[in-house]
Amino acid sequence: MIVTRFAPSPTGFLHLGHACAALTAFEAARAADGSFHLRIENIDLTRCRPDFEAAIFEDLRWLGLSWPVPVRRQSEHFADYRSALNGLDSLGLLYPCFCTRKEIAEEIARADFAPEAAELSPEGPLYPGICRTLTTEIRRARIARGDAYALRLDVAKALASLGRELIFDERGHGANGESGIQAARPEIFGDVVLARKEMPTSYHLAVVVDDALQGVTLVTRGEDLFPATHIQRLLQGLLDLPTPVYAHHRLILDRSGRKFSKRDRAPTLRNLRQSGATPEDVRVMIGL
């Protein structure tokens, strides 16, 4: 059975880009007589708000969506992410990183540092690996004295431990807009952060755990998240989780050709509704 999901973060009101993602997932499930899930991705407790969550439910119902299975709210499942993290730790694939953003930037700015440092990952500068080689004694001492740290995945070690090529099936807009079987290249992310003190799981870890626990077989989402699939595929391999099929869809662009974002005060679904638009109008606007 096809199982899809829409996984918004309640950090603002939904806009046309969200409507596209939600309707794409909903219609894909409906067309296959499958199941559609709604997941609230609220691991960032400082930015997510219950009133935005309530607005998500209201806007989606107005659009005509329903979700038979109870909503999964990530903030209620930190234990699941912790156990995945422990699994990776027991494989020896995590290391504590004590670097501040400033220290990372300074290290990258040093001309004589490794060339990899100048490279960009899909999430910003590639971590130059400063803490990867700290000794166990130094790690223990710094943790004991209360230094703040994040847990990073040693991606090279992780790939070596798997010892096989990882692939995923892209049915939508993948690399260069092309679909087909894709070779996963998690190394483009460098050693990603999987947890911090104030955020006990990263987006990537929570997504792969949840997609597996919810039995998601088809991930539909905007093509801006296509690169994330590379690192998420690695996490699935390490945690022995099934890999869904992916179908990334085109982004809905505003009049100036930029993608809608909460920051730009893009027209929200509630603005459109208040100005008299119908759910049908929204479907036409996003080309569905």
Q: Which of 4, 9, 236, 268 binds ligand GLU (CB under 6 A)?
A: 9
Residue 43 binding ligand GLU, by CB under 6 A: no
- With b meaning 16 or more CB within 10 Å and e meaning fewer, what string describes 95-108? bbbbbeeeebeebb
User: How many chain residues touch ligand GLU (CB under 6 A)?
Assistant: 7
Residue 174 binding ligand GLU, by CB under 6 A: no
Q: In what order do the strands lie in the sheet with 72-73?
A: 3-6, 35-40, 72-73
How far apart are the C-alpha atoms of 113 and 100, rounded to whole Å? 17
Residue 173 binding ligand GLU, by CB under 6 A: no
In order, the DSSP letters of 135-180 are -HHHHHHHHHTT---EEEE-HHHHHHHH-S--EEEE-SS-GGG--E
| Amino acid letter, 124 | G
Q: How far is the CB of 207 from ligand GLU (least distance, A)?
A: 5
From 4-12, 68-76, 176-184, 263-271, give the range in contact with ligand GLU by CB under 6 A. 4-12
Per CB under 6 A, contacts with ligand GLU among 186-215 are 207
Q: How far is the CB of 206 from ligand GLU (least distance, A)?
A: 9
Residue 221 binding ligand GLU, by CB under 6 A: yes
Question: 134: helix, coil or strand?
Answer: coil
Helices 16-31 and 50-63 cross at an angle (nearest 10°) of 50
Q: How far is the CB of 96 from ligand GLU (least distance, A)?
A: 26
Q: How far is the CB of 37 from ligand GLU (least distance, A)?
A: 11
Q: Which of 3, 4, 7, 168 binds ligand GLU (CB under 6 A)?
A: 7
Per CB under 6 A, contacts with ligand GLU among 53-82 are none
Angle at 155 between CA 84 and CA 204, to 5 degrees: 45
Q: How far is the CB of 286 from ligand GLU (least distance, A)?
A: 16
Residue 217 binding ligand GLU, by CB under 6 A: no
Q: Which of 23, 225, 231, 286 binds ligand GLU (CB under 6 A)?
A: 225
How far apart are the C-alpha atoms of 23 and 60, rounded to whole Å? 9
Q: Cα 72 to the chain's mean position, in Å? A: 15
List the beta bridge partners of residue 97: 150
From 7-15, 123-131, 166-174, 189-197, give the range in contact with ligand GLU by CB under 6 A. 7-15
The pair phi, psi for residue 169, each rounded to 5°, is -100, 115
Q: Cα 30 to the chain's mean position, in Å? A: 24
Q: How far is the CB of 9 from ligand GLU (least distance, A)?
A: 4
| Amino acid letter, 172 | G
Residue 123 binding ligand GLU, by CB under 6 A: no
Give whichever of 65 and 207 is closer to ligand GLU, judged by the CB atom. Answer: 207
Q: How far is the CB of 17 from ligand GLU (least distance, A)?
A: 9
Site residues, ligand GLU (CB under 6 A): 7-9, 41, 207, 221, 225
